[in-house]
Structure 1
Amino acid sequence: MTKTILITGASRGIGAATARLAGTRGWSVGVNFAGNAAKAAEVVAAVEAAGGRAIAIRGDVSREADVTAMFDATERAFGGIDGVFSNAGVLHVAGRIADTDPGLARRVFEVNVFGAWLVARESARRLSTRRGGRGGSLVNMSSAAARLGSPNEFIDYAGSKGAVDSMTLGLARELGPDGIRVNAIRPGLIDTDIHADTGKTDRLGELVGGVPLGRPGLADEVAEAVVWLLSDAASYVSGALIDVSGGR
């Protein structure tokens, strides 16, 4: 079935991979990005080349007006929304909590928690069958860090993803009667360019020894799980926290 979905933070990494895979299904995709318009345009072109439709939408998920606008833009372009991948997230240079700048930590929570909350609220308003929507699926981006804790690196990031897990469980129970399924994806060590943001040039190499499958994952592998959750094939899956972590 053809669907219309919105993906936040879709100009790179897992968000971009999910958009491209959705394109192969013939889906229409709102490609949200915060700053890199050129990369977002590349994703739009890739979705269209794969057989879907797409538009790029600039916006910061931590700002209410931006979140409302990205939903509006997707609906104007393609009609009602069937699914949302709340993917946008940030981290910062790795370090112990005693040495972390509170401003950097605050930004992590603004985007990863409050941003996810704003996207969830707007998803509830647009998709709810009680409010005239047609139901659908919300997939939150969590992380294996939520259960591993990320000591000596990102205590704040891990805490933000723990909050996403809790919100996911509550949202699944609250929004199920409104026809909305809510789940979270918890990737582990995935080979994307977000690792460059940490300041560790070989972070993948340092941590891969702890992965039972013996390698980092690929963004495309995570995207497969996300698209499945957005699809009708996952019609009875809600309230799930799905690890895509190679056993880590």
Structure 2
Amino acid sequence: MNADKKTLLVTGGSRGIGAAICRQASRAGYGVAINYVSNRAAAEALVAELEAAGGEAFAVRGDVGNEADVVAMFEAVDRAFGRLDAFVNNAGIVDVKARVDEMSAERIERMMRINVVGSFLCAREAVKRMSTRHCGKGGAIVNLSSAAARLGSPGEYVDYAASKGAIDTLTVGLAREVALEGIRVNAVSPGITETDIHAS
């Protein structure tokens, strides 16, 4: 890989918003690492699409809710690209519509493990590679939040909304923590977007 080429890792990058981010980054000249958890075919199809257009990309499996998978995913990026310039914390889940008094502990714990703990673990690994404190050259982290964090999603997904509220707090705190270490941290908060996250 060209030593001057910037690199990007996108969790949940094989479909929906994540795939759109990968396409845009590739068009902008980034080498792109596309994370997926189960749909290998979708990730590999996107890699082929980006390479056919002259880009550089590879797919890497990893469940962001599993610490060992997160560490292995970032190590795979190290091996493939030798650097990490940008990271998008995109992977996340929703569940079927339900009131809070209908939610199981299993559902709530899974939501928080993937959407919150996973985002923290990925941000940790990105900072270790980007921060000047760790001999990095700086970089950018973008967290995917949601308008649900402000609206609460009553009668639908209060657990999802709460998880995205945590992402907003993570974004503000981490941005202030690493601002002097060359890392810019932001969040974007899409409204309802037609992807297959709801269907799945």
Residue 104 of structure 1: aligned partner: 107
Q: Distance in 1 between matches of 2:153 and 2:135?
A: 41
Secondary structure of the 2:199 match is: helix
Does 2:173 correspond to 1:155? no
Quote the offset at 1:49 in angstroms: 2.3
Q: TM-score, normalised by structure 2?
A: 0.95
Residue 24 of structure 1: aligned partner: 27
Quote the offset at 1:69 in angstroms: 1.1
Q: Distance in 2 between matches of 1:84 and 1:55?
A: 15
Quote the offset at 1:2 in angstroms: 3.5
Secondary structure of the 2:178 match is: helix
Residue 171 of structure 2: aligned partner: 168
Q: Which of residues 99, 113, 117 in structure 2 aligns to 1:114? A: 117
% identical equivalent positions = 54
Residue 149 of structure 2: aligned partner: 146
Residue 88 of structure 1: aligned partner: 91
Is the contact between residue 37 and residue 61 of structure 2 (CA under 8 Å) also seen in structure 1? yes
Residue 6 of structure 1: aligned partner: 9
Cα RMSD (Å) of the superposition? 1.1
Aligned residue runs from structure 1 range 1-248, under 5 A:
2-197=5-200
Unaligned runs of at least 5 residues, structure 2: none
Q: Distance in 2 between matches of 1:49 and 1:143?
A: 32
Provide the aligned length of Structure 1 versus Structure 2: 197
Q: Distance in 1 between matches of 2:192 and 2:122?
A: 25
Unaligned runs of at least 5 residues, structure 1: 198-248
Letter in 2 for 1:23: S
Q: Distance in 2 between matches of 1:95 and 1:69?
A: 34
Quote the offset at 1:196 in angstroms: 1.2
Is the contact between residue 94 and residue 198 of structure 2 (CA under 8 Å) also seen in structure 1? no
Quote the offset at 1:189 in angstroms: 1.2
Is the contact between residue 11 and residue 33 of structure 1 (CA under 8 Å) also seen in structure 2? yes
Quote the offset at 1:148 in angstroms: 0.7
Is the contact between residue 2 and residue 25 of structure 1 (CA under 8 Å) also seen in structure 2? no
**Deviation string, structure 1 residues 40-59 (Cα, Å, up to 9, x no partner):** 10111122123221111010
Letter in 2 for 1:178: E
Q: Distance in 2 between matches of 1:156 and 1:195?
A: 15
**Deviation string, structure 1 residues 156-203 (Cα, Å, up to 9, x no partner):** 000000000001000000011110000001000111111213xxxxxx
Letter in 1 for 2:126: S
Letter in 1 for 2:186: N
Q: Distance in 2 between matches of 1:49 and 1:188?
A: 32
Is the contact between residue 22 and residue 47 of structure 1 (CA under 8 Å) also seen in structure 2? no
